[in-house]
Amino acid sequence: MGKFGIAILSRYPIVSIRIHQYKRYKNKTIRNCMACLVSLPNDTRIWIVNTHLGCHFIGKEQHQQAKELVSFIHSLKINHTEIAGVVVCGDMNSPPIYQSIKTLRRSGMLDTWKSNGQGVGGTFPSYTTIPCFRKLIRLDYIFMREMGRRRILCKLVYVQDDGPSTRLASDHLPLCAVFVIGD
């Protein structure tokens, strides 16, 4: 059901899936997001949300979609004690100064790169003939928010760059994070 490469893969059971389709912005392609409730081995659950926001040059489309994304996140059942929180990730097509990113931060989402990353965190473009322009812009994000009695902690966040093979997969480099859930 997801479009634009939206997918969530999990080694642990996915017990619920929710999809939200963003409202069309002008004549642009409709975008969406997907949420999966993942059941972890320690009787904890966590919502994972993946999205691919639009690509309006000055960010108006992304801002509209970010507001919808915040509402969608709030609609998830996140008040149960066994749910540790929510992790939101994806191609936001927004540098950190855009309103879309500010909207997500104001909603209580923690930008894992801001708290644990080093350097610019540039994920775009993954390849260019002018080396100094490579990895120049930060467009991809992983946000998190604790919700339950169990703590969720981002231990590490990094941009994966294994050279030519990584660059062939996308015009963006992968953004990866390691999380720990405790009591």
Of the pLDDT bands very low, low, confident and very high (cuts 50, 70, 90), residue 4 is low
**Coil, helix or strand at residue 19:** strand
Which position has the higher pLDDT, 1 or 177?
177
pLDDT at position 61 is: 96
Q: Residue written as tokens 């994920």? A: 123
**pTM over cut 0.85:** yes
The vertex-77 CA angle with 72 and 80, nearest 5°, equals 150
Of the candidates 141, 130, 137, 129, which has an alpha carbon nearest to the alpha carbon of residue 175?
141
pLDDT for 183 beyond 70: no
pLDDT at position 1 is: 40
pLDDT for 123 beyond 90: no
CA distance 42 to 82: 10
pLDDT at position 2 is: 41
Element (H, E) at 180: strand 175-182
pLDDT at position 9 is: 95
DSSP letter assigned to residue 23: P
CA distance 181 to 82: 11
pLDDT for 81 beyond 80: no
DSSP string of 9-70?
--SS-EEEEEEEEPPP-TTSPP-EEEEEEEE-TTS-EEEEEEEE----TTSHHHHHHHHHHH
Q: Is residue 41 reached through a cis peptide bond, with omega within 30 degrees of 0 on the bond before it? A: no
Q: Taking residues 6-13, what's their average pLDDT? A: 94
User: What are the residue ranges spanned by the domains of the chain?
Assistant: 14-182
pLDDT mean across residues, the chain: 88
Residue 120, CB-side half-sphere exposure with 13 Å CA sphere? 12
- Please name the CATH architecture into which domain 14-182 falls: 4-Layer Sandwich (3.60)
Q: pLDDT tens, 31-43?
A: 999 999 999 988 8
